[in-house]
Structure 1
Amino acid sequence: MMSYLDLISSKKRKREERVFKFKIFGENGYPVEFDGSFQQNIKKLLELAHFERHTCSRMPSWSFKLEVIRQPTLHITLFVVEEPIEASLEHHCKHCQFVGWGQNMICNRKYHFVLPSKETETAFLNCHDGAISPKDNFNLVQSQGHIMHGIFHSNGFGHLLCVNGMEGGSNLAGRLIMEFWDRLCTGLRARKVSLNDISQKRSMELRLLHGVAFSEPWFGRWGYKFGRGSFGVTRPMHQKAIETIQGMPLCILVHYLGNSNHHIPVIFSRYQTVSDHSLVTLGDLFRFMLELKTHLPEEHCVDSHVVEPTCRWSPKRVEMATRVIVEALKKAEFKWVSRQDVRDAARAYIGDTGLLDFVLKSLGNHVVGNYLVRRCLNPVTKVLEYCLEDVSNVYPEQQGLVINNSKMKGRYKMTRPQLMKDMLYLYKYILKDQKPTMIHGVLSAIPASARIILDTKYLVKEYNGELPWKIHHTGHEEAGKMTLCYCTVFLRDKKESNEVVRKAMPPLECITLKNNATFNELKLEVERKFRELYWGLKSFVVESIMNLNVKGTDFVSEIVEVGQKILLEGSNAESGMINELIYECGVNNRAVDCACGAKEDDGERMISCDICEVWQHSRCVQIPNNQEMPPIFLCNRCEKEIMILPSMP
């Protein structure tokens, strides 16, 4: 079956490839107006792409050259690969199955959006030059190590498979990649998008670290939320686990861990000293540390050296202005002073107001000598205020955080490497590793809750949901058409016993008809639309309209309101199609009944009983992940039944 998008490749293109701006690519109006359904929008987008001819992947491929930075020049390439169902090695999508979308119908096409690594891009493009023989069948979408790889089914459901930021070898930060992906999903009008959150930062799982700090995973800043938990984890369990760790008082941790580990109270006090508000719970501490990290330079100390690489003032002048401001604050005798008063006092010695503004902006919560320069917004006057705090040898005695270590006196400095080292230490000692003191008692809730959070990896964002294309009545009428209604279909499956079984419906699709169209024409348009979208409906025939009592010759516009939902029923005309196979879950004969509560395959490693053939998680039956599966396995129930059988004579 030839793709309708193949027609795009026949259009004449300019010899020079067009360059698009990476940071706004996907916004509405750039590079095209995204004002249709997902299928229409992706067709519009690919009309502007460069068609990759003679690639040995043997699937239609397009590319966009994207400018990340102009000076110095940094370009990356976005590849879009259309995968027709005939070219798929596996018709069923495991990503849909694991996230709980197994009842979705298999689509005729998938679209892979790939930002490849330089090595992968070179190998893919070298197919043109014969460096890789076509028989080698280099497949871009099956390669690993991409900067980004996302998949869209042609009905608008999608999966983000990988994001590799700078720690993964990319020259782009993970945040920029996610913003790019989010713009694509929004612009193309995707319905729902899932991802498997296994993101890490220096061996720390971000879903645990950010969950404790911000009540949501790292991907939550783009709207991704709990989709489906593994090992029987539900949404309420996940939320309760986060609240349990977040609310753990630091004084309790110091009480139980402080005697055996002197680093814990020292780290707690270090960040309480820098913070301008009380850090009471573990959630408070991790949130402050992550927020502080964004304000620290990569290597330099939080000290008087606040010069940025692009600063137009010399370090000596910045140092002088800093000392003048600190001396002005000393005269206030550690009281809060408004920004304007500090600025006016410093102007008697520093005439450059631009320099003063720069230093005041940079000094907030920085340590200069033996003093911490605090800055906060007065909640009443809404004015920025500053004050000094002597941190040379004073440590707070709040919530049981008592420090009796004379070696900690002296100049207090904070660097990003130090902060990351402290964060990693707390993460491993408190959140990840189960110390003997945390197995029993009040602290035992921490490892149990952390396990639940780590078992929640499937996240979902609903971009446009059931109605991805909002109806715009005006404009279509002027063109002699009207955007009429949303339609979906029931597929009738007639069994040998003459029993009629109705399967799950596909999502609603927007149907556009002429003003004088009849219901017979509506049926034909629905047949065409759903045959084009779904592999299992290639011979679908509409037999009746379920929620309207109309004749085929009746005019649709006289009965149906714009935006109304219509349900149509029908069946496949061709025989031989097994209807169970047209859904992403396939014919699922695997019985799952695990002690954790799981009743479906969630993508985790499983083992089946050799007698009852029921599947369970290997972890739940005490088989470590680094251990091979036993050649024979009996579940507890079958093992007990065998034990009570009478012995043979």
Structure 2
Amino acid sequence: MLNVEVIGNNKRKRCGRVFRFKNFAEPGYPVMFGGPFRENVNALLEYANLESHLSMPMWSFELEVHHHPPLHIFLFVIEEPIEAVLNRHCKHCQYVGNGHMMHGVFHSNGFGHLLCVNGLEMGSNLPGNQIMDFWNRLCKALQARKVSLNDVSEKRGMELRLVNGIAYSESWFSRWGYKFGRGSFGVTQSMYLKAIEAIRSMPLYLITHHITNSNHAIPLIFSRYQTLSDQSLLTLGDLFSFMLDLKSRLPPDLSIASYTTTALLETNSRWSPKRIQMATRVIVEALKNTEFRWVSRQEVRDAARAYIGDTGLLDFVLKSLGNHVVGNYLVRRSLNPVTKVLEYCLEDISKLYTCNQSLVMSNKVKDKFKITRTQLIKDMLYLYNYILVDPKPIMGSEFLSAIPLAARIILDTKYFIKDYFGDFSYQLDLGSQDKLNLYCTILMRNGDEYLNKAFMPPHECITLKTTATINDLKLEVERSFREMYWGLRSFVVESIQNLSVNNGTDMVFGLTKVGEKVVAEGRHTNMIEQICERDPNSGVVDCGCGTIEDDGERMVSCDICEILQHTRCVRIPNDQDIPHIFLCKKCEQEIVFFPSLP
């Protein structure tokens, strides 16, 4: 197993070659990657610095990120011999879960796991997207097969797989091609996609309608970002997408006002300032009488006409009044996504300044209605907590109670995977005229019994001379698979299944084509669990949520039947220790109905 780690250290100096970070692992830099995974790794390590005085083989590369100011990071490659490992089954093949910028591992057959990415928020020198670009280049260059990851990234207490799922219908890692691999707690891909769509398509208007009487902050947040957007924000997906995009464009020290303080006057206006001010006060009073709820433009206009007969004046003021501060109030305006009409609402800001300051904007008011990156994250966190995770303010609404249920399904989907090998066609020639490729897998037999075809390893590239015989092919297959798989160190090839072979001296390329896929059949005497990527003896899972295999979540075993179940599903809190004695419901019921002894 190869451990790949990226560490930032500006103080460390090397005498070896320094590579450019942004180009490292591109074709030809530092080497042309043309062979199978193991050969590509060996070719790359020819350019590395060999570290000395270590218990395991270790190589390093110095990578320059910036020249001015100088910023160098180090890529370490550590080979972990399988014979030195106590548990030879990779736990990351089941689920993926350290203080580096990046840490990933590769098996010798090209399957790998990205264990962690720590961007700027975690104190590293590089943003997460640059680290992921580097990892992606490395996987492609080495021709990795499949790489998995466990997305547990969060920021300010928000699980980013939920936020990104709502905003963009997918995980942040999907930018690099990582897709649904497996859900926890019985979550399927269909459930995951439906949960994302259910939350993304939730109309903001209906949320506002259900919570108007219990939560005034959420409608104001909706309105705040609607006024900044050039397009209508109709759903939660629209809102979260706009907020994330706005956050990416906002420098830390810049703010955008979500209000305007200009007077409702125009040089070419046919109404005097006095009449405009009178109409403004009438409209504000009409809005005050609605008890701070959202009302349609027509409703406000009809109420104001009892005092102002000039409908043209009312239309002018209503058109200009949105998101203005008038006296002690901020007048909010928003487009109703369902009815497609303008609605108005008052926000009382009188507590921010004294009444004597009426039409004068104080610094407190300005600060309150300026959208900074900090304010934006604060607003998003509020929506995250009070709509997605903790719906206490909106209890009693069946319509909105579905949101946290769908959010739970998204949060239970953490395991993503990318098939890198699908990006490559089979290489027919490694650059030498007297050597060609075949792609071979093996079918194993223990005595007279064939092992399940599900345990057949993936096809491996076998390089042979053009004059190779069937016996040469057998020896090369044995050598390759013994080298890659610890459990196959006693594997012996007996025949090539899909070739018409008379004897071992027959020429290989007289019987098959270059690039052909073949199956080698052979004898294997080791126990099956030694060649499995996961330990088949780790226990039987049969949880009420539908899970039938270990998905990486905390589990408890019944002390009678030894069946494993999720602690969450049997209502054992995460902050509570697993009880010393635990019985599943089935065993508990059997004990209750078990006849008592005389």
Amino acid at match of 2:428: H
Residues 37, 469 of structure 1: 8 Å contact kept = no
Instruction: Report how many aligned residue pairs link the two structures.
Output: 504
Match of 1:122 in 2: none
2:426 to 442, 450, 470: 470
Is 2:527 aligned against 1:578?
Answer: yes
Is 2:239 aligned against 1:285?
Answer: yes
What is the SS of the residue equivalent to 1:616? strand
- CA distance in 2 between partners of 1:500 and 1:475 (Å): 38
Q: Structure 1 residues 589, 156: CA separation in 2 closer, same or farther (over 3 Å shift)?
A: closer
Match of 1:251 in 2: 205
Match of 1:461 in 2: 418
- With the length of structure 2 as denominator, give the TM-score of the two structures: 0.80
**Offset of 1:582 from its aligned partner?**
2.4
- Could you report, residue by residue, the CA deviation over 1:458-481 in whole angstroms, capped at 9, with x for unpaired residues? 11011114x96622348432xx22
**Offset of 1:289 from its aligned partner?**
0.6
Structure-to-structure mapping, 1:195-344, within 5 angstroms:
195-302=149-256
1:96 to 93, 98, 113: 93
Moved more, 251-260 or 620-629: 251-260
Match of 1:534 in 2: 485
Is 2:591 aligned against 1:591?
Answer: no
**Offset of 1:77 from its aligned partner?**
1.0
1:186 to 131, 140, 159: 140
**Offset of 1:646 from its aligned partner?**
2.7
Q: Structure 1 residues 98, 226: CA separation in 2 closer, same or farther (over 3 Å shift)?
A: same
- CA distance in 2 between partners of 1:187 and 1:473 (Å): 17
Residues 183, 189 of structure 2: 8 Å contact kept = yes
1:567 to 519, 522, 525: 519
1:623 to 572, 576, 591: 572
Residues 332, 345 of structure 2: 8 Å contact kept = no
2:495 to 539, 544, 549: 544
Residues 26, 183 of structure 1: 8 Å contact kept = yes
What is the SS of the residue equivalent to 2:219? helix
Moved more, 400-409 or 510-519: 400-409
Match of 1:108 in 2: none
- CA distance in 1 between partners of 2:401 and 2:257 (Å): 39
- Could you report, residue by residue, the CA deviation over 1:543-600 in whole angstroms, capped at 9, with x for unpaired residues? 111122222232222221122110111013xx5x323222122242511110000001
1:491 to 437, 444, 447: 444
Match of 1:501 in 2: 451
Match of 2:123 in 1: 169
- CA distance in 1 between partners of 2:167 and 2:396 (Å): 23
Amino acid at match of 2:427: I
Is 2:352 aligned against 1:403?
Answer: no
- CA distance in 2 between partners of 1:185 and 1:280 (Å): 40
- CA distance in 2 between partners of 1:273 and 1:71 (Å): 41
Identity %: 58
- CA distance in 2 between partners of 1:215 and 1:468 (Å): 27
2:106 to 152, 172, 184: 152
Structure-to-structure mapping, 1:105-124, within 5 angstroms:
none
Is 2:591 aligned against 1:635?
Answer: no
Match of 1:414 in 2: 371
Q: Structure 1 residues 518, 414: CA separation in 2 closer, same or farther (over 3 Å shift)?
A: same
Match of 2:398 in 1: 441
Residues 265, 402 of structure 1: 8 Å contact kept = no
- Could you report, residue by residue, the CA deviation over 1:460-518 in whole angstroms, capped at 9, with x for unpaired residues? 011114x96622348432xx2223x2111111122xxx544345111111122122222
Amino acid at match of 1:490: L
- CA distance in 2 between partners of 1:199 and 1:426 (Å): 19
- CA distance in 2 between partners of 1:453 and 1:79 (Å): 34
- Could you report, residue by residue, the CA deviation over 1:92-132 in whole angstroms, capped at 9, with x for unpaired residues? 10010237xxxxxxxxxxxxxxxxxxxxxxxxxxxxxxxxx
- CA distance in 2 between partners of 1:502 and 1:594 (Å): 26
Residues 169, 196 of structure 2: 8 Å contact kept = yes
**Offset of 1:157 from its aligned partner?**
0.3
**Offset of 1:285 from its aligned partner?**
0.5
Match of 1:355 in 2: none
Amino acid at match of 1:446: I
Unaligned runs of at least 5 residues, structure 1 = 4-14, 100-141, 305-325, 334-387
Q: Structure 1 residues 592, 146: CA separation in 2 closer, same or farther (over 3 Å shift)?
A: same
Match of 1:81 in 2: 78
Match of 1:553 in 2: 505
Residues 289, 419 of structure 1: 8 Å contact kept = yes
Residues 428, 515 of structure 2: 8 Å contact kept = no
**Offset of 1:50 from its aligned partner?**
0.5
Amino acid at match of 1:453: I
Q: Structure 1 residues 389, 553: CA separation in 2 closer, same or farther (over 3 Å shift)?
A: farther
- CA distance in 1 between partners of 2:452 and 2:233 (Å): 57
Residues 493, 579 of structure 1: 8 Å contact kept = no
What is the SS of the residue equivalent to 2:417? strand
- CA distance in 2 between partners of 1:152 and 1:234 (Å): 27
Residues 196, 457 of structure 1: 8 Å contact kept = yes
2:461 to 494, 499, 510: 510
Amino acid at match of 1:293: K
What is the SS of the residue equivalent to 1:81? strand
Residues 19, 63 of structure 2: 8 Å contact kept = yes
Kindly report the root-mean-square deviation, in angstroms, between the aligned alpha carbons of the 2 structures: 2.7
What is the SS of the residue equivalent to 1:23? coil
Q: Structure 1 residues 21, 331: CA separation in 2 closer, same or farther (over 3 Å shift)?
A: farther
Q: Structure 1 residues 53, 638: CA separation in 2 closer, same or farther (over 3 Å shift)?
A: same
Larger radius of gyration: 2
Residues 34, 430 of structure 2: 8 Å contact kept = no
1:613 to 542, 562, 569: 562
- CA distance in 2 between partners of 1:389 and 1:157 (Å): 61
Amino acid at match of 1:405: E
**Offset of 1:436 from its aligned partner?**
5.7
- With the length of structure 1 as denominator, give the TM-score of the two structures: 0.74
Moved more, 635-644 or 75-84: 635-644
What is the SS of the residue equivalent to 2:345? coil
Residues 195, 460 of structure 1: 8 Å contact kept = yes
Residues 211, 393 of structure 2: 8 Å contact kept = no
Unaligned runs of at least 5 residues, structure 2 = 3-13, 270-319, 325-330, 351-358
**Offset of 1:444 from its aligned partner?**
1.4
Match of 2:306 in 1: none
- CA distance in 2 between partners of 1:589 and 1:70 (Å): 51
- CA distance in 2 between partners of 1:643 and 1:423 (Å): 50
